[in-house]
Amino acid sequence: MIYQGDSIRVEFVEDGIAELQFAAAGSVNKFDQKTLEEFSQALTELANDKDLRGVIVTSAKPTFIVGADITEFLTLFADVEQTKVWVAKASRVFDQLEDLPVPTVAAVAGFALGGGCEATLACDYRVVDTSAVIGLPEVKLGLIPGFGGTMRLPRIIGPDNALELITTGKNNKPEDALKIGLVDAVVMPEKLRDAALSMVKAAVSGDLDWRAKRQPKLEPLKANDTELTMTFVTAKAMAAAQAGKHYPAPHAAIKAVEDGAKHGREEALNAENAAFVGLTQTDACRAQVGIFMADQLVKGKAKKAGKLATKEIKRAAVLGAGIMGGGIAYQSAYKGVPVVMKDIRQEALDLGMSEASKILGKLVERGRMDHKKMAKVLSSITPTLLDEGVKGVDIVVEAVVENPDVKGKVLAQMESVVDDDTIIVSNTSTISIDRLAKNLKDPSRFCGMHFFNPVHKMPLVEVIRGEKTSDETVAAVVAYATRMGKTAIVVNDCPGFLVNRVLFPYLAGFAGMVDEGVDFAGIDKVMERQFGWPMGPAYLSDVVGIDTADHCTVVMAEGFPSRMPRDTSSAIAKLAAAERFGQKNGKGFYNYGVDKKGRPAKEKAPEVYEMLSIGDKQLDADEIIARCMVPMVNECVRCLEEGIVASAAECDMALLYGLGFPPFRGGPFRYLETVGLDKFIALADKYAHLGEMYQVTDGLRDMAKSGKSYLAG
Active site amino acids: 450
Single-letter residue type at 115: G
Distance between CA atoms of residues 191 and 387, nearest Å: 54
Distance between CA atoms of residues 472 and 312, nearest Å: 11
Phi/psi of residue 343, each to 5°? -150, 170
Single-letter residue type at 689: H
Number of CB atoms found within 10 A of residue 34's CB: 13
Which whole-number Å values give the CA distances from 118 to 84, 166, 178, 186, 438, in the listed order?
19, 12, 16, 18, 58
Q: Cβ(381)–Cβ(350) under 8 Å?
A: no
Distance between CA atoms of residues 420 and 443, nearest Å: 12
Alpha helical stretches, state H, 56-139: 73-77, 80-98, 115-121
Q: Cβ(542)–Cβ(580) under 8 Å?
A: no
Of residues 571, 498, 496, the one with CA closest to residue 541? 571
Sheet with 460-465: list strands edge to edge.
381-384, 339-342, 316-319, 395-398, 423-426, 446-451, 460-465, 487-492
CB half-sphere exposure, 317, CA atoms < 13 A: 28
Radius of gyration from C-alpha coordinates of the chain? 28
Separation of first and last alpha carbons in the chain: 40
Single-letter residue type at 242: Q
Single-letter residue type at 546: I
Question: Which SS3 state, helix, strand or coil, does residue 40 take?
Answer: helix
**DSSP state string for 605-670:** -HHHHHHTT--SB---HHHHHHHHHHHHHHHHHHHHHTTSBS-HHHHHHHHHHHH---GGGTSHHH
Pairing of strands 171-172, 133-135: antiparallel
Query: Is residue 397 classed exposed, middle or buried when 0-12, 13-18 and 19+ CB atoms within 10 A define those classes?
Result: buried
Estimate the crossing angle of helix 698-706 against helix 677-686, to 10 degrees: 140
Q: Cβ(252)–Cβ(284) under 8 Å?
A: no
Distance between CA atoms of residues 468 and 390, nearest Å: 24
